[in-house]
Every structure is written in structure tokens, then in C-alpha cells.
Structure 1
Amino acid sequence: MEPTPQRRSIRYNGYDYSMAGYYALTICARDKAHLFGVLTPEEPLQPSALGQLVLSELAAIPTHFPTVRLDTWMVMPNHLHCILVLTRNQAVHVSTVVGSFKSRCYAKWRKQLLADGQPVPASCWQRDYYEHIIRNASELEGYRKYILDNPSRW
């Protein structure tokens, strides 16, 4: 049997993602499908049932991880942006927070679909996520603006 090839990591080589700091994240829906809702002129996102779960679980991250807080976030029809803040060194890894969040969302959505007798996709998430280590106040302000302006660029 041939070994499975290693996937190339998109993380910054040698960086400890459990270090306190600010991390800009983008997490995409499976196949970039518009699963989380629709944008309307009246509000940034009119969430679907899954979109409501995503918003709820995003807000609950600090409950599950007391050393983590959310700075700024925006859920779009097929992705979300957020700035995650690790408040203490080596208390939790960014990938643990993201993995837990994605898992909780999918499990609750799957349960809803099964209860409604609907087919259940293998996932609602694209594999992995994108991140940027925010290194200074100027970058932080730039990411905050980018996130909050995202609906107007849609």
C-alpha cells in the first residue's frame, strides 16, 4: 500500500499558533456554496438556518475557550471573516478553536437536517481555513475595516 502524500501546510512555518495575539481568519463554506444566507440592502446578512447556527456558534467561542475572544466578525453567504484574539500564551491553538467551531456548527446543522428528513452533506465547510497573524495596530485596523466593509463589496 502506497503512503498518502502529505498535504502542504498553508501555515507560517515555525510559528506557534498558540501564542497570544490577533489572528485574521477566513473560513469558507463547502464548494463556496451560499449556505449561510443572503445579503439584502436592509441588513448585512439574512441568515439561513445554518447561518443562524454559524452566528450563534461564533458568538459562543469565548464560552468554549475562555482565553479566546472575538474582536470583529462578519458572516457572508459563503464564508466568514473574523479576528480571533488569543489572550494567553499556549492556552489553546488557533486550529483547535477553528476545528471545534466548525465541528459544532456541522453537528447541529446535521441534527436539524436529519430531524427534517433532509439529506445530509458530508460537510458544510471547505477543508482548512485561511489566516493572517496580525502584527501591529495598523494591520489590526486594516483588517477590521476590511471585515466590516465586506458586505458593501459583495
Structure 2
Amino acid sequence: MEPAPQRRSIRYQGYDYSMAGYYALTICARNKAHLFGSLATGGTIHPSPLGEIVLAELTAIPSYFPAARLDTWVLMPNHLHCILVLTRNRAVSVSTIVGSFKSRCFARWRKQIVAGGQPAPPSCWQRDYYEHIIRDARELEGYRKYILENPNRW
């Protein structure tokens, strides 16, 4: 039997994602389904029960990881954009934070679904996530603007 092919990493080769800095993240719902809520006129999200969990767990990240904070974020019907800030070198990695966040969200959502007598889905998240290492103030402002204007482009 042949070994399974290795998945190609979408991370920047050789970069240490536990270094202090700003990281723009996009985390998508499984199959890009509209699981997190709906957008009303004016770009305000009406979160679903899962969307409420995602928002609660997102804002709780600094309590789980004191070397991390959130800069700017927006929850969309099928994805989340945020700027994650690591404040200390090698205290925690971006992948550890994202993995923990996704696990906590899914565990809480799964518990609600099972308690309601429904079968549990395999996940609420797309595999992996997208990130960009923000290198300077101009990029940071560009990502902040992109995130805040995202609902208007929906």
C-alpha cells in the first residue's frame, strides 16, 4: 500500500509563526456554507447559534492565550476575517491559537446539536485557514480597511 500523498502547506516556508507580529486570518465554514448567520441591509450580521459561539470564542482568545490579542475582525455568513496579534516571541503559535479556537467552537456547537436530538455533523470548519503576515503599518491599515468593509462588498 502506498503512503498517502502529503498535503502541500500554504504557510510561508521557513517562517516562525510564533514570532510577535500581526497576522491577517481568514477562517472558512465547512464547504463555505452559510453557517454563521446572515447579513442585513447595512452590513450588520445576524449571527446564527453557531455564529454566536464563534463570536464568543473569538473574543475569548486573549483569555486562553495571554500573549495574543485581536485587532480587527468581522464575522460573515460563511467565514471570519480577523487580525491576530502575537505580543511575545515564541509564547504561542498562530496555528495553536486557530486550532484551539476551531476546536472550542465545534465542541460547543456539537453539544448544542446533540442535545437537540440531531446527529452531529463532522465539522463546521473548512480544513486549514488562510493567513498573511502583516509586515508594515501600510499593510496593517489596508487589512483593517478590507475587514471592516467586507460586509459592504458581500
Q: What TM-score bracket applies, with the shorter chain setting the length?
A: over 0.9
Q: Retained in 1: the 8 A contact 2:23–2:134? A: yes
Q: In structure 2, what residue type is equivalent to 1:126?
A: Q
Q: Retained in 1: the 8 A contact 2:43–2:151? A: no
Pairwise CA distance, 1:2:
1.6
Residue of structure 2 equivalent to 1:44 = 44
Residue of structure 1 equivalent to 2:63 = 63
Pairwise CA distance, 1:90:
0.3
Q: What's the CA shift string for 1:117-146, capped at 9, x where partnerless?
A: 112110000000000000000000000000
Matched ranges for 1:59-138 at <5 A? 59-138=59-138
Q: Retained in 1: the 8 A contact 2:43–2:152? A: no
Distance 1:43 1:75 in 2: 10
Write out the 4+ residue segments of structure 1 that deviate beyond 4 Å after TM superposition: none
Q: What is the number of residues matched between the two proteins?
A: 154
Unaligned runs of 5+ in 2: none
RMSD: 0.8
Q: In structure 2, what residue type is equivalent to 1:22?
A: Y
Where 2:72 maps in the other structure, the secondary structure is strand
Q: In structure 1, what residue type is equivalent to 2:57?
A: E
Q: What's the CA shift string for 1:43-84, capped at 9, x where partnerless?
A: 521000000000000000000000000000000000000000
TM-score, length of structure 1 as denominator length: 0.98
Unaligned runs of 5+ in 1: none
